[in-house]
Amino acid sequence: MDRTGVIYTDESLVGAEITLTNCDREPIHIPGLIQPYGFLLCLHEQTRRVVQASANTQELLGIAAENLIGQGLDCLFEPARLVDIEAQLTTLAEGHRLVGVRLDKVTGQPFYKLILHRFDDLLWLEFEPVAETTDGPLNLPSLNDALGQMLAAASVVEFCAYAVQQVREITGFDRVMAYRFAEDESGEVVAEARHPDLEPFLGLHYPATDIPKQARAMYLKNWLRFIPDVDYVPVPLVPVRNPASQRPPDMTYSVLRSVSPIHVEYLKNMGVGATMTISLIRDGQLWGLLVCHHYAPRLVSYELRDLCQFIGKTFSALLKSKEQADDFAYQLRLREHQARLFGLLAEFPDFRKALYDHLPVVKDVFDCGGVLVSFDGELAAYGSTPTAPQMREIVEWLSKHATGELFHTNSYARHNPAGVAVRSVASGILAIRLDRAAGDFIIWLRPEVLQTVTWAGQQQKAEVMKDGQLHLSPRHSFAAWSESVENTAEAWKPIEVEAAEEIRLRIADIRLKLFNEIQARALQLSRLNAELERSNDELDSFAYVASHDLKEPLRGIHNYSIFLLEDYADKLDSDGVDKLQTLVRLSQRMESLIESLLQLSRVGRLEPDVQEVDLNTILAEAMEILQPRLEQTGTRVTVAHPLPTVQADPVRLREVFNNLLTNAMRYNDSAVKTVEIGVAPAGVISPRGSISPAAFHVLFVRDNGIGIDSRHHESIFKIFKRLHSQDKYGGGTGAGLAIVKKMIEKSGGQLWVESQPAQGATFFFSLPKYTS
């Protein structure tokens, strides 16, 4: 036995202080000690005689432990009660069984709870006095509701939250936490129920060293560990070694078993006065713990502890289904983000533009800090990412060292020492290669774990020094842990790696499809160019025929109709005269239609003569031509501000103003006709989207005419489209606005209208700014 009272079979630990360097070898299952809130008797399985007893029987029973050795239970119980206890012992297994008894032959002793189990070739009888506690009656309806909430929980975190709340309501502990282990056996507080005056521990992490391996093994065997007072003085067994085996008995399932001094020291350093721990087990592995803390001694009855153990076992039985629900929910969320990305890739002809313009969507496919997209040496990034030179270094390293089409790691620094410099944002890398020759990648990044979590060691008391030795405390254990896991990110899940591969394959399919389409389009374009040349020749021939062969006989029809009216009108009746007049009108209209069609055809076929154009000069020239008509209609034209200089074809711009001003005069029945011309204010948006103010001027021509219903705002720009009959508003062919629209679009701009009936119309058009 060393100076802490612990019995060791490992000779290297005898007489040694337990520290972080050797606590994994501490034989906590055979301490030879109990906690003093009860007493213990170990019976020989066959003889039912006491072979070992705890040294505190003198204090609790008035009988020295040495005097109990070799005795039967008849020294404590009357024969009738012995029959009941013997019946329990006969069918006893390793699991605990509770019996309420009174020590009939010990005067003045209280009513005891007798906790029985069989293990290590011994019958274990542990006695807890029924003390006056604050335990109230169990609220079964509340428990039933709580279990219902646990069953209905939609996620593991919600599941944990219900469990800790219920355990706290049952036991009255100041704080109850759900503690989940990670793959490296460190842990995180994922749920907490606490007294409102206490600081929260939710989200804190603890290193693996805080729970040594042998303690984890014990938690797998014994579901519950209880310490009602951390300041207890351990009580040894008498004798320490089992006479039959000549070693301390294995106390794995003992309720009163004394705990590791290092654990007690740890609790004291946290200010804890009492604690209870319930195992959470999934598929035979320790998943986590329900950890209860009280900041003063607290004795919780065995019945309530057993109920908490039931909650822990219920939790463990349901845990797998809750985790599967979490996995499914994450998988569903991942698939939704993936589908959104695939939708963008399908929507945009250039998938690279889809990626560059929608980087948040690319990043959100996975739980990560940032994303890099690299194509043809061009880098784009979103989220928490390294500097541009560091990003290029990552791409270059991947180009040289990532041999496959997909690379992932949770510790880039282990592969490349330069990764230490970017560990705060890029300890984890998931990369898909899109083009081996060009070094094109999509790279998702995860930060170092130490950058994203709060470790309990940073908030607890400082290290404890005893005899020049550094003993276990939260801060010291944190330091040991952080050194071992730095430069490490959260690992990529298999489903994430699988999804990344699907994204790579989808983009590869798109690239192959685009390549094939480009090849097909090139071939088709070659054929179309040949056809277009032939078509242009035919169009030129058509223009000649339309302007010469068609117009010439049309003029003959028109002229002879006039001659007939002049020479024979007096010989015809009124009906004949009307028919000839109609023929004259129709021939004139047909000539106008042919001329408009020719003009539209010329706009489409001939490239504009783009040059520097002063719009003030062009407008003045157009108004000079229209001056007689302006005076005739009494139309007043004002220019809001001097007009800018643009890059356009001056002849076509003159035609634009001519058409828009003619329409403003024609479709206007106001007593005073007005037309305003100017530059539109910034922020004007066309129906096809915003216009870059850096590249284009937006101008307007506004009148106070009859206006246009919104349902016709698109159709008025179609060839030969009129909203009124020929006899209204001066006739016309309906080709003017179609010609204006084609002229503006051939200059690179847009044309649209804003108008309502009886409220006038404003025609907007954009033109490229002049750049010297």
Mean pLDDT of 610-621: 90
- pLDDT of amino acid 516: 65
Q: Is residue 352 domain-shared with residue 470, that is, in the same domain?
A: yes
Point out the least confidently predicted range of 11-20, 91-100, 426-435, 597-606: 11-20
Q: Is residue 254 domain-shared with residue 367, that is, in the same domain?
A: no
Q: What predicted TM-score, i.e. pTM, was given to this entire model?
A: 0.57
Q: Give the best-scoring range by mean pLDDT among 327-336, 361-370, 454-463, 521-530.
A: 361-370
Q: How many domains does the chain have?
A: 4
Residue 304 in any domain: the answer is: no
pLDDT higher for 651 or 232?
232
Q: What is the pLDDT of residues 53-63, one digit of tens each?
A: 999 998 888 88
What is the Rg, in whole angstroms, of the alpha carbon atoms belonging to the chain?
A: 46
Q: Tokens for 415?
A: 């592969």
Residue 547 in any domain: the answer is: yes
Q: Give the pLDDT band (50/70/90) at residue 451.
A: low
Residue 637 in any domain: the answer is: yes
pLDDT higher for 578 or 11?
578
Q: Give the pLDDT band (50/70/90) at residue 208.
A: confident
Proportion of the chain above pLDDT 70, given as a percent = 78
The domain spanning residue 41 has which CATH number? 3.30.450.20
Residue 319 in any domain: the answer is: no
**Would the pLDDT of 477 be above 50?**
no
In 447-567 the beta strands, taken as DSSP E runs, fall at 454-455, 464-466, 469-471
Residue 212 in any domain: the answer is: no
Q: Is residue 526 domain-shared with residue 455, that is, in the same domain?
A: no
Q: Give the pLDDT band (50/70/90) at residue 457.
A: low
pLDDT higher for 425 or 726?
425
Q: Is residue 392 domain-shared with residue 467, that is, in the same domain?
A: yes
**Would the pLDDT of 702 be above 90?**
yes
**Would the pLDDT of 606 be above 70?**
no
Residue 305 in any domain: the answer is: no
Q: Is residue 554 domain-shared with residue 691, that is, in the same domain?
A: no
Which residues on adjacent β-strands are paired with residue 175? 194, 293
Q: Give the pLDDT band (50/70/90) at residue 593.
A: low
The secondary structure of 180-199 as a DSSP string is EE-TTS-EEEEEEEE-TTSP
The domain spanning residue 376 has which CATH number? 3.30.450.270
Residue 151 in any domain: the answer is: no
| Rounded Cα gap, residues 120 and 621, in angstroms | 113
Q: Is residue 562 domain-shared with residue 683, that is, in the same domain?
A: no
- pLDDT of amino acid 327: 81
- pLDDT of amino acid 466: 46
Q: Is residue 245 domain-shared with residue 96, that is, in the same domain?
A: yes
Nearest CA-CA partner of 753 in 766, 744, 745, 762: 762
Task: Give the domain extent around 14.
Answer: 1-132+231-271
Q: Is residue 486 domain-shared with residue 506, that is, in the same domain?
A: no
Q: Give the pLDDT band (50/70/90) at residue 14.
A: very low
**Length of the chain, please?**
772
- pLDDT of amino acid 120: 87
Q: What is the pLDDT of residues 303-351, one digit of tens each?
A: 888 889 999 999 999 888 888 888 888 888 888 888 888 888 877 777 7
Which residues on adjacent β-strands are paired with residue 489? 448
Mean pLDDT of 602-614: 71
The domain spanning residue 710 has which CATH number? 3.30.565.10
Mean pLDDT, the chain, whole residue set: 80
Q: Is residue 581 domain-shared with residue 619, that is, in the same domain?
A: no
Boundary-marking domain end, from 574, 606, 638: 606
Q: Is residue 601 domain-shared with residue 613, that is, in the same domain?
A: no
Q: Is residue 63 domain-shared with residue 3, that is, in the same domain?
A: yes
| Rounded Cα gap, residues 76 and 54, in angstroms | 15
- pLDDT of amino acid 292: 95
Boundary-marking domain end, from 437, 468, 491: 491
Proportion of the chain above pLDDT 90, given as a percent = 28
Residue 570 in any domain: the answer is: yes
Boundary-marking domain end, from 491, 508, 534: 491
Q: Is residue 248 domain-shared with residue 127, that is, in the same domain?
A: yes
pLDDT higher for 109 or 434?
434
Phi, psi of 483 (to 5 degrees): -65, -30
Give Cβ neighbours of residue 732 (< 8 Å, ≥ 6 apart).
666, 722
- pLDDT of amino acid 12: 35
HSE-up of residue 404 (Cα within 13 Å, Cβ side): 8
Q: Give the pLDDT band (50/70/90) at residue 460.
A: very low
Q: Give the pLDDT band (50/70/90) at residue 113.
A: confident
